[in-house]
Amino acid sequence: MVARAKQGDEVAFREILRRYERPVFALLYRMVRDRALAEDLAQDTFVKILNGIRSYRPEFKFSSWVFKIANNAAIDHLRRRAVDTISLHGSPDATTPERLAATTLDLPDRGESPLEEVEARELGSAIERAIGQLRPEYRSCILLRHVEGHSYEEIAQMLDLPLGTVKTYIHRARNELRDYLEDRHNETRRARGA
């Protein structure tokens, strides 16, 4: 597919887009918590990938190259804007209902029974909120590891970080997520018992 794209095969370009648009957009959306902005960054990411396809070196895994470009786009934006702790229910910086809607994560229906859906959505929402609380570099690592399923070595390569640092970030991110979820669980129990 990549070899065909390098030869200018438009079908291969479309295939790359079809295969990566959702994971790249989802990563960017979770990183910047703004749908319109995530779309802009995803568009820039793919333009960069497809226009630069000839510079892609096959010794690097293609998906790693794609996510490296996407993650750099998100991190560059976050460094410029310092938007790093935004709630599932919209950015605290949002000053109008439109901005609040634009910065609220939109969780789609997953086709479960009503009770399962409520439970899954509650837990999914809690995890999304917890991820939103992480430092951007922890957030990248945990999303690339657990949502995208990349190996530690691939993540180190993507983020230009030593392997040990990636392991540390993922370890700390998991602990922070677990602490956040436990705190939330305890608060819910206290509220129900009150």
Partner 1 sequence: MKLDGPEGRKKNTMPTQHLTPDEIQLWAEGLLPAARALHLSDCHECLTAAERERSFFLQLAKLERMAPSPGFAERVLGKVRIPTPSGGFKAPD
Cα end-to-end span (Å), the chain: 59
> Beta partners for 90?
87
Query: Mask: binding to partner 1, 25-64, rule CB under 8 A, as x and -?
Result: xx--xx-------xx--xx--xx--xx-xx----------
Determine the interface stretch with partner 1 among 10-18, 72-80, 90-98, 132-140 (rule: CB under 8 A). 10-18
The answer to whether 114 touches 148, Cβ cutoff 8 Å, is no
Cα–Cα distance, 75 to 160 (Å, whole number): 13
* Helix axis angle, 152-159 to 163-193, nearest 10°: 110
Q: Which residue number, 79 or 178, has a Cβ lying nearer to partner 1?
A: 178
Q: Which residue number, 33 or 79, has a Cβ lying nearer to partner 1?
A: 33
Half-sphere exposure of 93 (CA within 13 A, CB side): 11
CA distances from 80 to 69, 74, 93, 150, 162 (A): 17, 10, 15, 27, 24
Query: Mask: binding to partner 1, 162-191, rule CB under 8 A, as x and -?
Result: ---------x--x--xx--x----------
Extract the runs of DSSP E, i.e. beta strands, from 35-182. Answer: none
How many residues touch partner 1 (CB under 8 A)?
A: 44
Cα–Cα distance, 39 to 36 (Å, whole number): 5
Q: Which of residues 87-146 bind partner 1 (CB under 8 A)?
A: 105-108, 110, 120, 123-124, 127-128, 142, 146
Q: Which residue number, 47 or 118, has a Cβ lying nearer to partner 1?
A: 47
Which residues lie near partner 1 (CB under 8 A)?
Answer: 6-8, 10, 13-14, 17-18, 21-23, 25-26, 29-30, 38-39, 42-43, 46-47, 50-51, 53-54, 105-108, 110, 120, 123-124, 127-128, 142, 146-147, 149, 171, 174, 177-178, 181
